[in-house]
Structure 1
Amino acid sequence: MSFMIGILICGHGHFARGLIEAAEMLCGPQAYLQGLDYELNEDIDVYRRNLLAQIEAWEPQTEEILCLCDMQGGFPMEACLTELPLKKVKIITETTLTLLTYLLVRRNGSQDSHQMIDNAVREAREAIYVIDPQILFADQEGEAS
């Protein structure tokens, strides 16, 4: 039996569903990748039970589970923190598509999970740019004159 790192995306609204759809467009269908969105007016206890049930369903087949949350301090992150303290779970907040795709591509490689997570976070931070089209195309306008 091979062991895998499971990835559970937790967020508000349609965050998890949208992120998984985008990631699978880039990386193909993925085993042990699930989302748990917290919907407006959803019963908090139901969300907590669903979270715990998903983690427990994966425990026999996974060596570790990463809970990727949409934001620091939000309810989905808090639920992961309070419901899963004795489980083999790590929580990562402020999840992006770059972070998720990095983890999906490398989760079964030779890196240990700490190294993989550190590298994924660094890649996600370095992928953030502010692009100002006026500055970007300013040189081209000067050349066209």
Structure 2
Amino acid sequence: MISIIITGHGAFASGLEKALTQIIGQQPQLACIDFSESMSPAQLDQQFETALHQLPINDGVVFMTDLLGGTPFRSASLLSQHNKNIKVLTGTNLQMAAEMLLERDEYTLSTFCEQALTVAHRGITSLDEQLQAKATLRLEPEENGI
């Protein structure tokens, strides 16, 4: 099973962890690490190292970060440069985290990352877009004579 570390600024990771627990329950092989205002990048790096020592990494580890170019992303990226079993995703949202935590047994590390991006993009939508898509689906059978 792929291990996951969710990280981000402020209470991003712990907030996401609370929401995930409410929606899908507690998950194994998951660490959530906040980068608070009072932390230094070195302290964040130390928390990452601790998590990597506590989690199984044989099937790989995916860091799910909040912001491209932010400190959590950069720190995770540096770790990934030294270990091919570590991947880094950014722009993490609740849709991505929930679906991928439930499906991580089905993928290799690289296909997990590809699917996570698909899921994240699918979760970014609007009510108008969803209503229009449903209306189009209802119209198509009639237009085809079904």
Amino acid at match of 1:22: A
Tell me whether 1:40 sits opposite 2:37 in the alignment. Answer: yes
**Equivalent position amino acid for 1:9 in 2:** I
Q: 1:43 to 1:123 in 2, by over 3 A?
A: closer
- How far did residue 93 of structure 1 move? 0.2
Partner Cα separation in structure 2 for residue 99 and residue 11 of structure 1: 15
Question: Counterpart of 1:142?
Answer: none
What percentage of aligned pairs have identical amino acids? 23
Partner Cα separation in structure 1 for residue 46 and residue 20 of structure 2: 26
Normalising by structure 2, we get a TM-score of 0.79
- Decide which of 76, 80, 83 is 2:72's aligned counterpart: 76
What residue is the counterpart of 1:143 in the other structure? none
Q: Show structure 1 runs of 5+ residues with no match.
A: 137-145
How big is the shift at 1:105?
Answer: 0.9
**Higher percent of residues as helix:** 2
In structure 1, what is the equivalent of residue 55 of structure 2? 58
Cα shift readout 1:81-118 (whole Å, capped 9, x = no counterpart): 12342232100000000110111111112x32322322
Q: Distance in 2 between matches of 1:63 and 1:118?
A: 16
| 8 Å CA contact 1:52, 1:84 repeated in 2 | no
- Alpha-carbon distance in structure 1 between the residues aligned to 2:6 and 2:50: 14
- Residues paired across the two proteins, number: 129
TM-score, length-normalised on structure 1? 0.80
Q: Which moved more, 1:40-49 or 1:65-74?
A: 40-49
1:119 pairs with 2:115: yes
Relative to structure 1, the CA distance from residue 107 to residue 46 in structure 2 (aligned partners, 3 Å threshold; closer, same or farther) is same
DSSP-derived class of the 2:118 partner? helix
2:126 to 106, 122, 130: 130
